[in-house]
Each structure stands twice: as structure tokens, then as C-alpha cells.
Amino acid sequence: MPAAESHATPFIARATFTTSSASRTVFAMGFCMSTWQPAFIAWIENAACVSTSVLMETTSGSPGGGARQAPPMIHEGMSPRERWLAALWRKKPDRVPLDYGATAEATHKLSKHLGVGDEREMCDRLHIDPPVTVSSRYAGPAVADDADVFGCRFRDVDYGTGSYRECIHHPLAGYSTVAEIARNYRWPSPDWWDCSVIPGQLAGLEQYPVRGGGSEPFLTYKNLRGDEQAFVDLVENPEVAHYILGKLFDLSYDTTRRIFETIPGKVMISYVAEDMGGQEDLMISPAKIREFLLPGMRRMIGLVHSAGAYVFHHNDGAVRRIVPDMIEAGIDALNPIQWRCPGMEREALKRDFGDRVVFHGGVDNQQTLPFGTPDDVRREVADNLRILGA
């Protein structure tokens, strides 16, 4: 935990909308799909408009319909970095901090619509405060275009308006014991990454928050073993699961530590994530999460806090049952708050955890953003400010 705070500081990551409780401040983040444009622009506009009014304890227009007032002028007395820190410290910023995340296709369409050249210029135009993500340069053995450093291979899958990569080769799927894996598989080394390029990635961007390092090992584990086998391993092959996850956590820890050592004191947030939730409930039992994932995550969280940074924890889906464990482990921000999932109702999350974690997210990216009207988005932004930012 950074020295400025002695208590757990809540925060959210990924995909929608976010608030910190005491200061009524909100982070917004959205993934837009085929109907992205009207809803997304309304969402950004309304976030800026409503946040200004909330900070002044007034209202701004009527999101439910009818003529709306023009958005007020945004007077900015803070840099994006200062704005994020104010929210994390539960202080009142000059305006609500905004974050952004989207598919490459959506970003391209929005940039084209605004007539800007790149994502950073787009964010400046829309008064968004996205972190600068620093990363080391891969300098290890050659990797094929359709593969990653772990030997997993991928193919592009077209879904009509874009594409995503799907893992089609799982290099550890054929092994059944730790001895077989140790004998036949070469694990990536942290020496394969060159951190000397990182300081240059911050040049001219000192006014933004910096994100660097982190872990999400079970995602890689599923690629290494295959989705079904990965879950089966937690029950039937615990020695294999502990061994592989241990290797992945060690790699994340060492590469993250080197980032912190390269730019000491510069990283503000680190992404310590794991997708544990499905649409209706957890995909992994709390007991298995505590056995296989929490020990490594606690180690990562300790490293992040020792570097003076905050832990941004992404965890999709219906994860209510494991949220207390994650807070106890030391996360500072929780994302994405998929409130349509059972147990993820915003009022209850705010009531039970709002004094211990910052909420980053909250605008629904399964229904409201891709399929809602601009007024639907405006209403949801206002709801999040009222419920999560109260």
C-alpha cells in the first residue's frame, strides 16, 4: 500500500464504469461493439456532464428523455495522474476521472469519427485519462507469428465486425505428471525480456498515471493445458496445477519486479487479475481459489504494494462470493462490476465493500453499451454515480 494511505483503497478494473466511495468520484471504461458509436459518445459526454454536476451537488439535464442541457465546460486543474491519485486517496478531484478500453475495431471507428490520428489524441479530445502502460521488450528465442512465448498457437476467428485470437494448440495437454513436464518443457525465463526500453515509454507522458506489471496465470494455464483440462486439474491433478501455476506466478513476479526496479516510484497501478466468475456464479469454488490462486496473488499484491503502487484487480462475472477474500488479500480496485450477474447488484456491493475497495466499472458491456440507446447509457452513467459514487 502506498505510504499516503494506511487503509485499503478500493478500485476497479476493466470494461465499464468506476467510482470511489468517499469522494463521489467515478472512473468510466467501456467496450463497444457493433452499435458502438451513438451509445459510446453519449456515455462519455454524460459521464463528464453528470460528474461535474455531482461534484457540485447539483444535477445536469434529464437522462430519461426530453431536451437535455448542453454539457458544461470542463475546467481542468489537475493532470490525469493527479486526478487518478485524488480518487484513489478518496479526495475530490477537479472532475471525474475517465478510463477507456475497447477492441481495436471500435477504437479505429471512434478515432475516424472524431478525425484524430491515434488513441492518445482521441482520449485527449474526449477528456479521458487513460494510464500509460509500460512493458519490457521481448528479446528471447524467436516466436512464430501464430504463437506466444509459452508455445501456445493461435488462429484468428472472424465474428463479422472484427476478429479475436483463439488458442488451438496446448503444449502441455499431453502430460499427466510434473516429472513429464519438467523433463520435456522449457519455461520462459525473465531474462528473455529487456526492461531498458521502459523509461523511454514515459517520455512526454509524465502527466498520466502509469500501469505496469501484474499477473493473470490461470488464463495462461488454460492455454497451456486446454480449457477443460485446466479446470479438471484443480480436482484430479493438484500436483500438476500447483507446479504450473507456481511457474507462472514466479515468472510474473520476476518480470514485474524488474519493471518496478527500472522506473522506481513511477508505476501507479499494477494489473493483478484472474477471471473466476461465470454468468451465474464462480467457475472455480472458493476452496480451490484459496488453494491454487490466492497464495500467488497475495505474493504479487505484496510486491505491488512494496513498490508504492495500487493493485487493480480484474475479475469478470458473478464473483460476489470471492470478493471478501480478494479484499482481505489486499486488492485496491475491483473491476468490472458486471451488475446484471447474480450477486453483483451495485447497491449491495457498495453497502458491503464500498469502504474498502474502489469500484472501477459498472456500465454494462453485455447489454447497455452494445445494444442500448444513448438514453439507456445516460441513465446507467447517472445510476452509477448515484449508487457507486454516493
Q: pLDDT (tens digit, 9 = 90+) per residue, 177-201?
A: 999 999 999 999 999 999 999 999 9
| pLDDT number for residue 75 | 62
The answer to whether residue 121 is domain-embedded is yes
DSSP per-residue codes, 47-94: HHHHHHHHHTT---S-TTSS--PPPPP----S-HHHHHHHHHTT---S
| pLDDT number for residue 93 | 85
pLDDT band of residue 76 (cuts 50, 70, 90) is confident
The answer to whether residue 185 is domain-embedded is no
The set of cell numbers assigned to 273 is: 487479475
| pLDDT number for residue 53 | 27
Q: What is the pLDDT of residues 363-382, one digit of tens each?
A: 998 999 989 999 999 999 99
Q: What is the pLDDT of residues 146-182, one digit of tens each?
A: 999 999 999 999 988 888 999 999 999 999 999 999 9
Distance CA 212, CA 193 (A): 14
Distance CA 298, CA 223 (A): 23
How many domains are there within the chain? 1
| Least-confidence region, from 60-64, 72-76, 262-266 | 60-64
Please, which residues have CB within 8 angstroms of residue 175's CB and are 6 or more apart in sequence?
Answer: 181, 184, 185, 240
The answer to whether residue 288 is domain-embedded is no
| pLDDT number for residue 141 | 98
Distance CA 342, CA 72 (A): 37
| pLDDT number for residue 390 | 63
Average predicted confidence (pLDDT) for the chain: 84
> Whole domain around residue 12: which residue ranges?
8-131+323-390
| pLDDT number for residue 157 | 94
The answer to whether residue 160 is domain-embedded is no
The set of cell numbers assigned to 255 is: 518480470
| pLDDT number for residue 74 | 58
The one-character DSSP state at 29 is -
Q: Which residue did the predictor score with more confidence, 108 or 22?
A: 108
| Least-confidence region, from 60-74, 196-210, 342-356 | 60-74
The answer to whether residue 261 is domain-embedded is no
End-to-end CA distance of the chain: give it in Å, rounded. Answer: 24
Distance CA 321, CA 343 (A): 8
Arithmetic mean of pLDDT, 310-325 = 97
